[in-house]
Each structure stands twice: as C-alpha cells, then as structure tokens.
Amino acid sequence: MDWKKFGKKLLFPPVWLMVILVVICAAALPFIFLNSMEQTVPAYIAYGLAFYTLSVVCLSCILVLPKQYRAIRDGIYNNPLGNRFMTDRVFRIKLSLSASLAVSMLYAIVHIGSWYLLRSWWFIVLSAYYAIMAVMRFLLVRYVRIQKIGTSILGEWKRSRICACILLLINLSLSGAVLMILYRDMGYDYPGIMIYVMALYTFYAFIHAIVDIVRYRKLGSPVMSTAKIVSLSGALVSMLNLETAMFAQFGGEMTPQNQHLFIILTGAGISITVVTLSVILIVTATKAIRREKHGK
C-alpha cells in the first residue's frame, strides 16, 4: 500500500465526501446532545467523525484556499450578482435587511408555535421581542425598496424616528425576559459544543454591528445607520441570552444570588444602552426633520 498516497487522500478527500460528512455531523451532534447520549458509543463515533471533518476543513482553508484566492476573487467579480454584492454597499444592506427580516419573522413564528405546544410564557416574551425586531426591519426594508437611498433625507429621518420609537418597546420584552429568568428560572441552555458556537456568533454579531455603525455613518444615510443600530440592539439582547446559557452550563459553583445579580446588571446595562440609543436617534431625527422643513 502506498501510505503517502493514502495519507494524501485521507487529508484531502473529495469535496462531495466532505459535504456529506458535514451534513452528517451537523445532524448527529444535535441529536446526541438533545437526547442525552453524550456517553454512548454512537456519541464517541460522532465526536471522532466531527473532529476529523473539522480538521480536514481547517487544513483545506489553510493550505488550499490561499492558493485559490485570486481565482475565487476573479470568479466573484466576474459574476454580475457577485460583482454587485462586492461593490454596491446599498445592495448589500438591502440584502442584509431582507435576510434579517426573514430570520426575525421565522423566530417569532417558531416561538409562538413553541408556546402553543408547551404553554410557557417564556416563548411569548421571546416571540414579542422578535416580532418587534421584525416590524422595525420591515419598515426599513419597505422604505429602501420604495425609495432610493440618499434621494430623500427627510423621508429617511422620518422612517428613522419611527423605528427609534418602536425600538423603545424592546425594553418591555427585555424586562419581561429578565423577570422570567429571575423568578421562573427560564433562559437558554445550549447543549454540548453548541454554547461555544453561539458564543462566537454572539460576539461576532456584536463587533460587526459596532463596526458597521461607524462605517455606514460616513454615508450620511439615516436609514442605514438606523438599520445597524437595530442590529446592535439585537446583538446586545443576545448577550443576555448567552449569559443565561453560560450560567446553566458553567455556573454550578456560583450561588443563585450572584447569578441573579449578574443578570440584573447585564439587563440594566442593555436596557440603558438601548434607551440611550433610541432617545439619541429620536432627538437627532427630530432636529434634522425640523431643519429640513425649515430649509425647504
């Protein structure tokens, strides 16, 4: 047997095989964690397969993708849709808003269905939060589809002020979530390695929202800035959800009183931040609207 050739095939299997392995691991791991099978033989097989798949993917990203970077980049820019996505910032934010709207609506529907099945008010609180997010994103998506960005600053400021007023309602759902966590022991509990995945996603969303607020502020578009403030508010609430999951997973040595104190402080900090952003946006929009009308 040619061990060198075998090792190369083992480290660089066909793409179709890697796709199958990724799908199998993505389905097997949640099934194992949700059914409390962490210490069984199938679980160890799934762990080994997931480790192999992740190692091969990482190795391919390190060794193969850099060599293919120019070809991939040229392929993207030569494609009309890819070229527009990479060069048209307005198109990217329209696409991002539409995707965020779809996700918020889906989450709201899923939590309503969970409430119907489980009769837990925790899901009502969460569905209310996602419904509010969906309303704000719908208003922004509808505006950018009707009106071209930058052609009506007065209209953008008006839509921005409406979304800022709705953003204040986030605090109602946030307060309800904090109360449910404190007095009903509700919260998120991500099984196994899912908590690390959600932590990475939450911090990425938070940092990405801050960077985008600074980046899109230079464009002078109130609608785009408001969209990123909405995303930042969502990332902040995700921080609270991640904190409850962290306590559920790693907080065994911490007293319930200390956990509640951290949750109260985090909830208060997020609430103050969201209210401050909303008030600043409302005041700024109101002044801008008056200035635009006076100028006209």
For residue 296, is pLDDT > 60? no
Cα of 82 vs its chain's centroid, Å: 23
Question: What is residue 189's predicted lDDT score, i.e. its pLDDT?
Answer: 62
State the pLDDT at residue 115.
Answer: 77
CA-to-CA distance for 179 and 171, rounded, in angstroms?
12
Distances (CA, A) of 72 to 14, 19, 290: 18, 19, 49
229 in Cβ contact with 281 (< 8 Å): yes
pLDDT 10s digits, 117-143:
777 777 777 788 888 888 888 888 888
Average pLDDT, the chain: 79
pLDDT in tens, 184-198: 666 666 666 667 777
What pLDDT score was predicted for residue 3?
67
Residue 185 has what pLDDT? 65
97 neighbors 137 (Cβ within 8 angstroms): yes
Three-state DSSP at 38 gives coil
pTM here?
A: 0.68
pLDDT at residue number 184: 64
1 pLDDT more than 60: no
